[in-house]
Amino acid sequence: MFGYIQPDKAQLRLWEYEQYRAVYCGLCRSLGKHIGTLSRMTLNYDYVFLAMIRSALLGITPDIKPSRCAVHPTKKRAVAEDDKALEYSAKVSAMLAYYKIRDDIADSRGLKKLTKVAAEPICRVPLKRHAELKELGERVKEYLRELSVHEKNNCDSVDAVAELFGSVMSEIFSYGLEDETSVRIAREIGRHTGRYVYLADALDDIEKDIKHNTYNPFVCMYKDSVREKKDEIKTAVLLELKGLEAALALVDFSTCPGYKNIVENITYLGMSDKIDKIYEKLTK
Amino acid sequence: MKDPYKVLNVPRTASDEEIKKAYRELARKYHPDNYAGNPLADLVQEKMKEVNEAYDQIQRERASGGSHGYTGAGGSGATGFAHIRNMINMGRFSEAELMIDAVAQSDRNAEWNYLKGVVLIKRGWYIDAQRYLESACYMDPDNAEYKNTLNNLRNSASSYGGGYRGAQSSISPCDICANLICADCLCECCGGDLIPCC
């Protein structure tokens, strides 16, 4: 999750924006509490989406209160109190941050590598304490390993690679849910979210990857004509969002009604807006 | 069974037109065509069934009874005041009110209080209406019709704002006072004064 799952802030009502930020602050605190102070730097806004979906699927009513924190000492801000959904999302964010760092260590050299090596224990060490996430970690690692094999072999099926990342997210959204219906909905949301993120990221990187001659599934697939296929690619990504929309329509937000609009804003406006921006950049 | 109004996500006070609109929107959202080949198709089918049932139920209730009130005000338990109920159902409220007021003091039972409340709602006298409905509920606590009408009245008040309300306010009155006093202290430090009395 890398900056592709964010709301169109201008279209949020003020109190929705406040709730959105409250969940982010709550996640940050939860990270500090369950993982460690330094890990709070690894958080990004994408995990708010995960936390909100998990709240709805777990039937949690968020407890949002004004409070102060060390990062913003001057003013009281609305912060969501730690609950099962926040705790889980925070831990997962630390887990993915750790895998990302490990991946970067393998890919980088010199001073950059050194800083990554230094940062690696921040998330790794505390994650060991949380045995309940071990199984999820194994599954995610397996998919990511498979993904990197595909990438190394220059896989020319975009769908096959994206599906692996979809599987990662599918595990993450549904892990630990008990009710069978919720699991199915969560898997579907996760799958489309993961596929969308992967496709958007690959689309975003086309020019960069051509320049540095690094792997990009679209370039592998379309070769030199990749720029002409932009419309096709965009259609595919938007269809992914249709699938996400269909799954989201089944989520029951009755315990956290405020989240419904925010989640819909993220998917209907934020994500498609992001795609439009990437597309425009390519068209230039 | 779920509250049909909740399923359609409309307030109890919604007009027939609004209900139809909400229903159409949901029907479009959960239309089987949108889920052709979707692994969640069976869940959507259930959802669609729920929406259809809710819509049917509201239609039935509104056709059979008073304008609001989803347990069908009007008719069922009518005993002594059938003629007044008929007037109300026909929408002839001022005549109904005259008949209500003509009832002798000694005959004014729970149902009388209820009908008086209903007529007052129509007139827009909500404070009096609540008082009479409360008396009706007090005199006959087991009557669902009375209780529902009173609850509906209160619910329709709390659903005011068309979904715009419901935000958590993050500033308490205490905070405002504390902030003002702090600001006053700061001003005084610099020789000014924000709150002259302290």
> What's the pLDDT score for residue A39?
86
> What's the pLDDT score for residue A139?
95
Residue range B131-153: mean pLDDT, rounded = 88
> Under an 8 A CB cutoff, do B168 and A246 touch?
no
Residue range B53-75: mean pLDDT, rounded = 67
Q: pLDDT category, B69, cuts 50, 70, 90?
A: very low
**CA–CA dist A64, A87 (Å, integer):** 15
Minimal C-alpha gap between A78 and chain B (Å) = 6
Q: pLDDT category, B70, cuts 50, 70, 90?
A: very low
In order of B64, B144, B196, the CA distances from B72 in angstroms are 7, 10, 60
Q: Are B5 and B58 contacting, i.e. CB atoms less than 8 angstroms apart?
A: yes
Helix (H) / strand (E) containing B37: none
Which residue is listed with tokens 């925070």? A90
> What's the pLDDT score for residue B174?
59
pLDDT digits (tens, 9 = 90+) for A102-138: 888 877 777 778 877 878 787 777 777 888 899 999 9
> What's the pLDDT score for residue B72?
37
Minimal C-alpha gap between B196 and chain A (Å) = 25
> Under an 8 A CB cutoff, do A246 and B43 touch?
no
> What's the pLDDT score for residue A110?
78
Q: Residue B9: closest CA among chain A residues belongs to which residue? A: A254
Answer yes or no: is pLDDT of B167 > 50.
no
> Under an 8 A CB cutoff, do B44 and A249 touch?
yes
CA atoms within 13 A on the CB side of A31: 27
> What's the pLDDT score for residue B164?
41
Write down all domains in chain A, each with its CATH number in brackets: 9-283 (1.10.600.10)
Q: Residue B51 has which token pair?
A: 């929406």
List, for chain A, all residue ranges whose pLDDT scores fall below the cut of 70: 1, 284
Collect contacts of A123-131 with beta carbons under 8 A, ≥24 apart.
A123/A35, A123/A36, A123/A39, A123/A42, A123/A94, A123/A95, A123/A97, A123/A98, A124/A98, A125/A36, A126/A34, A126/A35, A126/A36, A126/A39, A126/A94, A127/A35, A127/A91, A127/A94, A127/A95, A127/A98, A130/A34, A130/A91
Helix (H) / strand (E) containing A269: none
| CA B85 distance to own-chain centroid | 21
Minimal C-alpha gap between A224 and chain B (Å) = 34
> Under an 8 A CB cutoff, do B40 and A76 touch?
no
**A75 three-class SS:** strand
> Under an 8 A CB cutoff, do B40 and A188 touch?
yes
> What's the pLDDT score for residue B74?
41
Query: Which of the residue ranges A1-10, B69-78, B104-113 would you say has the lowest mean pLDDT?
Result: B69-78
Residue range B128-148: mean pLDDT, rounded = 89
Q: Residue A188 has which token pair?
A: 């579907």
Q: pLDDT category, B172, cuts 50, 70, 90?
A: low
**CA–CA dist B43, B35 (Å, integer):** 10
Q: pLDDT category, B189, cuts 50, 70, 90?
A: low
pLDDT, greater one: B189 or A255: A255
Chain B residue numbers with beta carbons less than 8 Å from the beta carbon of A188 are 39-40
Q: By the CB < 8 Å criterion, does B126 face chain A?
A: no
DSSP string for residues in B68-136: STTTT-SSTT--TTHHHHHHHHHT-HHHHHHHHHHS-GGG--HHHHHHHHHHHHHHT-HHHHHHHHHHH
Q: pLDDT category, B173, cuts 50, 70, 90?
A: low
Helix (H) / strand (E) containing A78: strand A72-80
> What's the pLDDT score for residue A81?
94
Q: Which of B31, B168, B174, B179 to mutate to test the interface with A (most CBs of A within 10 A)?
A: B168
Q: pLDDT category, B163, cuts 50, 70, 90?
A: very low
- The pTM score is 0.70
pLDDT digits (tens, 9 = 90+) for B9-55: 888 888 889 999 999 999 988 988 888 888 899 999 999 999 999 99
> Under an 8 A CB cutoff, do A246 and B167 touch?
no
What mean pLDDT value characterizes chain B? Answer: 77
**Count of CB atoms situated within 10 Å of the CB of B76:** 12
Q: Closest to A247 (Cβ–Cβ): which among B40, B167, B175?
A: B40
Which residue is listed with tokens 């404070």? B127
DSSP A103: H
In order of B75, B97, B108, the CA distances from B80 in angstroms are 11, 15, 10
Q: Quick one: A252 exposed, middle or buried, by C-beta within 10 A (0-12, 13-18, 19+)? A: middle
Q: Residue B52 has which token pair?
A: 């259809």
pLDDT, greater one: B175 or A78: A78
Q: pLDDT category, B78, cuts 50, 70, 90?
A: very low
**CA–CA dist A250, A260 (Å, integer):** 11
**One-letter amino acid identity for A169?**
M
